[in-house]
Amino acid sequence: MKSIYFQFLLVVLLLCCACVRRSVNYYSRVGLEKAQAADYTGAIEEYTKALSRKPDNAELYKLRGIAKYELEDYTGAAQDINQSILLADNDPIAYKYRADIKSQNKDFKGALLDYDKSISLNDDYATAFNNRGYCRSRLKDFTGAITDYNQALLLKPDYAVAFQNRANARFRIKAFQEALSDYNSALNLNPELAEAYFNRAMIFQTLKNNKGACQDWHKAQEKGITQAASYIRKFCRQ
């Protein structure tokens, strides 16, 4: 009789464990679906439910941290990403997002360290190279930034933002023709890059192409760059 009782208990325990596993997987899956639909608040709720059942899961902390990052809750995102790295210190995505958070908080030197770590774990990570290049630009290391943008574009040749960022760096070192070529590439890939229109206009003006500059300032203004209006008033005939 005792044997049957213990066998029954074992079956119950196994079923309970299976339910817990299903619950974690279920909430994780629903969280991912909500994140993919840009419902980051809903995703956070689902990841939190999953973590209440499996509080030592590095991936769940990372995913919740990313959702908080998308909501610009950088403090909450940092807490979750730090916990994810504490539980598993070999995830290049976690280091990349922690670097992104530091960059948002203007800790560019700290961000560089985490981008370095991310790239050391995955040297095919185009976004990490691009974002590290941005930090180097903010620290006025334009040569280093261009090197990173080159690598990002080698890995992802249709990376419009990397073309725009490399153009910005080339603009700063007065390599105007190369910058112009990069802005052209960026806008061919993504015509909605308002900043690229504004900055290309500045190059056109430098190169004495007033017509091209005015066309781009108007485009930039249409896409929400408010400071373009003052240049239009000053340099462009209505």
Supply the pLDDT for residue 5. 42
Overall pTM > 0.85? yes
Q: How far apart are CA 7 and CA 123, in angstroms?
A: 52
Supply the pLDDT for residue 237. 79
Residues with Cβ within 8 Å of residue 70, at least 6 apart in sequence = 35, 38, 40
Supply the pLDDT for residue 20. 46
Residues with Cβ within 8 Å of residue 81, at least 6 apart in sequence = 61, 62, 65, 66, 69, 94, 97, 98, 101
Supply the pLDDT for residue 23. 83
* 77-to-98, 171, 206, 208 alpha-carbon distances in Å: 8, 33, 42, 46
Q: Which domains does the chain have, with CATH numbers?
A: 21-89 (1.25.40.10), 90-174 (1.25.40.10), 191-237 (no CATH)
Q: How far apart are CA 93 and CA 131, in angstroms?
A: 13
Residue 87 φ then ψ, to 5°: -80, -30
Q: How far apart are CA 218 and CA 197, in angstroms?
A: 9
Q: Measure the CA dihedral 65/69/71/77, to 10°.
A: 50
Q: How far apart are CA 166 and CA 75, in angstroms?
A: 30
pLDDT tens track, the chain, 238 positions: 445 543 543 444 444 554 445 588 988 999 999 999 999 999 999 999 999 999 999 999 999 999 999 999 999 999 999 999 999 999 999 999 999 999 999 999 999 999 999 999 999 999 999 999 999 999 999 999 999 999 999 999 999 999 999 999 999 999 999 999 999 999 999 999 999 999 999 999 999 999 999 999 999 999 999 999 999 999 997 6
